[in-house]
């Protein structure tokens, strides 16, 4: 018997050693190709890139995985407690694998056999980190063994807090939210520190299966799971019984965070910044790099710019009458269900989509599109209203702008038509006016002329209507708004604002083709000064001046100012027949406003990487002494302006002075009314296809154009002065309100001399029709009456008849006539 026992013991020992050897060999083989867990120390997950306005307000977020990394110290204890209770209550006690938890799970699963319940898991947080970071999700024995081995090794290498930090920043919560910070923003639109016990418990329930606990589609299951987590928090001593009971009474309270632009009216701006980031750093840096981008956007000015452009586009469009309904839907059954299927313009919240329910000669009865709840369900309430005939009177016009015979709404809309409406005001409940998205479009840019910072940008009527940015992407002819660059080249090469050019018909022959430029509206005025050429936007004078200087010089100036990259030196380009963008034109005019300094237009002030290191800064000017720790009697620090001087400051002032005349007496007379000096230039292209205005005060430059996306005539009289200048005026009045008015600085050494408006010669005392003109040192009014282009087109006696001052100069013997 003893021998038998010894035999059996020996056999068992051999078997045990054999099994141990097999297990050792298996573990050795499994461990041989384990991934390197040292990568966890350099964990850099894809992180959300965030754009901020100039005042720090969040503009937009971009991410493939919506995640914001948070160090463990920044995560509140109640949030950590919720996840420990839901996932691994013994986390701070086990060595990576929870043996007791594993045994409990095995027993539970045996007891649940045949019950249809889901098997209970026993993976610790450390095991989940090993799986999520280093292994696949394959349900195999090999993977589970590797997971356990890695968990032991990770626990020996990293602290518990570091492992929990990795877990809470990596896990997926559904709704494209990754990490606890991203989940808090996505589900509750708040930071982690603001989460309540019930909210933290709900988030802690999601990693097991986000789709199983969807807040809207699986609300009951979500509440049940959340309450289970709260019970575990109470059971584990993280939360008091009374607090837990109160938390369980709370609704889920999910408030989904909207994607895209977060700041009102900033869509076009944010999209342009997005394109620039991708161009500069690549797609991956934007969507995974966790960049912090501080833009130059002024949110208040942006709203004012948007309103001004929209007002102008609507005003023009309504003169052309009603285009027709957006859509036609059936009124059979619940009209709200059908209407809710259509997508309104989300970036114009003051406009509501509505369906026409009934039409009479006095009014139109409408039903307002019902809103959708966060889960996508349509609200049951149906809101109705009415449009009085007087609040849609503009729609009685035809497409040509003339009156229709009927003044009744019955000839405009019919039941089932889907239209846009706008409430008249809180004092008139249920009353609306008819609206329609305009077919005409435009773009507007406002900029600080001293830094090049773009403060506002509007790329069209509505980003929801069209994402095409007409401020930066639309290549349009600037028309006469290009002329100041021709005159700047002239003033830099010896001409003065008082130089006289002949405004008379002229023709040029090239390649067998004859070109006969004309002034807008036809006609000519004979000899006139350069000033009048800009003020009245004379094409014939501008072409003669460009021909006299040579187009190569004009092209060099256009390229220097950034209007074009490469300009073809042909005469028609002097009238703005090339194509450029609003942003380029505004940037070029900024040089006039700032005294001739080159500026780099920018929408971005600064870019920081995920660690807070600045990788781009627009401001390149130096400030010696700005970082002094304290004041010890030293001089005030001075910002060193190292920008290139691309235009003589005196020339810049002369052009500014001449463009002030555009607003006082010229093509924009009576259209721009500010409480401070303002200069600008209108632009109208051939057949009135585009209407421009670009202008500036000493501290703000803005420009815009209006035109159809497929260029077509805007109509007779649709000029930069009649269409665009009023929009510029509305915007500038709002933008400069409450700011101290400045003055255009006159450079030292300039002479201010009274001259005759027509002849440009020095005015006699008491002479009418004079103006104070600015001259550079060594220049001044002409002693003799000289007219560029006069010899070929006018006899001397004709000049004498058109210019009394010239006649006086000749008859008194004071100088000759050329």
Catalytically active residues, by annotation:
87, 480
Pairing of the two strands 787-788 and 500-503: parallel
> 10 Å Cβ neighbour count for 753?
18
Q: What's the DSSP call for residue 751?
A: E
Q: Specify whether the CB–CB gap between 586 and 694 falls below 8 A.
A: yes
| Block residue for tokens 């430029």 | 517
Tokens 């255009």 locate to 744
Please tell me the chain's helix, strand, coil percentages from 3-state DSSP, rounded to the nearest 5.
Answer: 40, 20, 40
What count of other Cβ atoms lies within 10 Å of the Cβ of residue 264?
14
For 330-369, give the DSSP string. Answer: --SS-HHHHHHTS---TT-TTEEEEEEEEE-SSEEEEEEP
For CA atoms 267, 272, 275, 281, the dihedral sign is negative
| 399, 277 contact by CB (below 8 A) | no
Phi, psi of 669 (to 5 degrees): -60, 130
Q: Which helix (H) or strand (E) holds 697?
A: strand 690-697
Alpha helices in 90-210 (DSSP H): 99-111, 125-134, 141-157, 160-170, 179-188, 197-205
Burial label, 752 (beta-carbon count in 10 A; 0-12, 13-18, 19+): exposed
Residues in the chain: 818
Rounded CA separation 666/532 (Å)? 8
Q: Which of 377, 393, 297, 306 is nearest to 345 (CA)?
A: 306
Q: Which of 190, 157, 180, 176 is nearest to 80 (CA)?
A: 180
- The pairing of strands 172-174 and 58-62 is unpaired
Helix, strand or coil, per DSSP, at residue 310: helix
Instruction: Provide the pairing of β-strand 351-359 with 622-624.
Output: unpaired
Closest CA to 177 of 64, 58, 291: 64
Let me know: does 662 contact 668? Beta carbons within 8 Å: yes
Contacts of 167-171 spanning 24+ positions with Cβ under 8 A:
167/83, 167/125, 167/128, 167/129, 167/132, 168/70, 168/72, 168/75, 168/79, 168/80, 168/83, 169/43, 169/45, 169/67, 169/69, 169/70, 170/45, 170/129, 170/132, 170/133, 171/128, 171/132, 171/207
Furthest-apart CA pair in the chain: how many Å?
Answer: 154
User: Which residue shows structure tokens 């846009």?
Assistant: 420
Helix (H, G, I), strand (E, B) or coil at 187: helix
Answer for the pair 48, 182: CB distance below 8 angstroms, yes or no.
yes
Residue whose structure tokens are 């005196």: 650
What distance in Å separates the CA atoms of residue 530 and residue 497, rounded to the nearest whole number?
A: 5
Best CA proximity match to 247, nearest among 223, 213, 264, 212: 223
Closest CA to 82 of 240, 220, 219, 232: 232
CA distance 812 to 288: 81
Rg, C-alpha atoms of the chain = 37
Angle at CA of residue 724, ends 722 and 729, nearest 5° = 100
């Amino acid at each position: 018997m003893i021998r038998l026992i010894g035999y059996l013991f020996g056999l068992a020992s051999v078997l045990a050693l054999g099994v141990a050897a097999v297990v050792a060999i298996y573990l050795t083989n499994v461990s041989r190709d384990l991934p390197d867990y040292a990568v966890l120390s350099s964990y850099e997950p894809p992180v959300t890139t965030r754009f901020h306005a100039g005042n720090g307000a969040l503009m937009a977020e971009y991410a493939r995985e919506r995640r914001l990394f948070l160090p463990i110290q920044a995560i509140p204890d109640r949030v950590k407690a919720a996840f420990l209770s839901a996932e691994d209550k013994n986390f701070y006690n086990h060595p990576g694998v929870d043996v007791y938890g594993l045994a409990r799970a095995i027993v539970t699963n045996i007891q649940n056999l045949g019950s249809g319940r889901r098997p209970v898991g026993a993976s610790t947080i450390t095991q989940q980190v090993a799986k999520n970071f280093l292994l696949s999700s394959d349900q195999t024995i090999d993977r589970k063994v590797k997971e356990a081995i890695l968990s032991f090794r990770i626990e020996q290498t990293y602290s518990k807090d570091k492992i929990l930090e990795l877990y809470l920043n990596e896990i997926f919560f559904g709704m494209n939210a990754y990490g606890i910070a991203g989940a808090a923003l996505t589900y509750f639109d708040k930071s982690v520190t603001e989460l309540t016990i019930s909210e933290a418990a709900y988030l802690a329930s999601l990693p097991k299966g986000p789709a199983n606990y969807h807040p809207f589609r699986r609300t009951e299951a979500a509440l049940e799971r959340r309450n289970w987590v709260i019970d575990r928090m109470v059971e584990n001593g993280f939360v008091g019984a009374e607090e837990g009971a109160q938390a369980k009474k709370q609704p889920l309270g999910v408030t989904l965070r909207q994607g895209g632009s977060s700041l009102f009216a900033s869509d076009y701006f944010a999209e342009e910044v997005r394109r620039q980031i991708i161009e500069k750093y690549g797609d991956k840096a934007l969507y995974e790099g966790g960049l912090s981008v501080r833009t130059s956007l002024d949110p208040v000015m942006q709203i004012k710019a948007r309103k001004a452009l929209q007002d102008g586009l609507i005003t023009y469009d309504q003169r052309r009458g009603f285009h027709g309904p957006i859509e036609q839907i059936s009124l059979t059954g619940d009209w709200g269900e059908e209407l809710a299927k259509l997508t309104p313009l989300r970036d114009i919240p003051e406009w509501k989509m509505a369906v026409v329910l009934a039409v009479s000669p006095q009014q139109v009865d409408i039903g307002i599109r019902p809103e959708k709840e966060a889960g996508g369900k349509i609200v049951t309430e149906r809101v109705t209203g009415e449009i009085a005939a007087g609040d849609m009177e503009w729609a009685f016009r035809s497409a040509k702008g003339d009156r229709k015979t009927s003044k009744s709404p019955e000839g405009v809309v019919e039941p089932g038509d889907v239209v846009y409406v706008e409430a008249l005001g809180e004092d008139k409940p249920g009353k609306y006016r008819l609206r329609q998205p305009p077919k005409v479009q435009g773009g507007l840019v406002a900029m600080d002329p001293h830094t090049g910072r773009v403060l506002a940008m509007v790329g069209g009527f509505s980003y929801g209507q069209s994402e095409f940015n007409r401020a930066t992407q639309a290549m349009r002819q600037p028309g006469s708004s290009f002329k100041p660059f021709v005159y700047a080249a002239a003033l830099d090469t010896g001409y003065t604002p008082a130089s006289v050019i002949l405004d008379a018909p002229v023709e040029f022959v090239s390649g067998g083709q004859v070109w006969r430029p004309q002034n807008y509206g036809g006609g000519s005025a004979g000899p006139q000064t350069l000033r009048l050429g800009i003020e009245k936007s004379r094409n014939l004078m501008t072409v003669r001046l460009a021909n006299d200087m040579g187009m190569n010089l004009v092209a060099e100036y256009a390229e220097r100012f950034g209007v074009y990259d490469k300009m073809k030196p042909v005469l028609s380009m002097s009238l703005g027949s090339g194509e450029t963008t609003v942003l380029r034109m505004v940037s070029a005019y900024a040089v006039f406003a700032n005294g001739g300094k080159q500026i780099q237009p920018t929408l971005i002030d600064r870019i920081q990487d995920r660690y807070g290191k600045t990788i781009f800064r627009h401001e390149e000017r130096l400030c010696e002494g700005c970082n002094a720790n304290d004041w010890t009697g030293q001089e005030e620090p001075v910002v060193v302006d190292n920008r290139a001087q691309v235009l003589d400051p005196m020339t810049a002032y002369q052009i500014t002075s001449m463009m002030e005349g555009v607003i006082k007496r010229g093509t924009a007379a009576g259209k721009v009314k500010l409480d401070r000096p303002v200069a600008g230039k209108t632009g109208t292209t051939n057949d009135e296809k585009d209407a421009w205005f670009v202008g500036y005060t000493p501290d703000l430059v803005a420009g815009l154009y209006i035109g159809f996306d497929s260029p077509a005539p805007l109509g007779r009289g649709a000029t930069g002065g009649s269409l665009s200048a009023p929009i510029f005026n509305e915007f500038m009045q709002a933008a400069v309100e409450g700011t101290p008015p400045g003055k255009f600085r006159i450079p030292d050494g300039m002479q201010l001399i009274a001259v005759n408006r027509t002849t440009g010669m020095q005015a006699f005392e008491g002479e009418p029709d004079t103006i104070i003109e600015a001259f550079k040192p060594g220049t001044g009014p002409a002693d003799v009456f000289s007219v560029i282009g006069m010899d070929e087109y006018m006899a001397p006696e004709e000049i004498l008849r058109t210019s009394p001052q010239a006649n006086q100069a000749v008859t008194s013997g004071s100088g000759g006539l050329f």
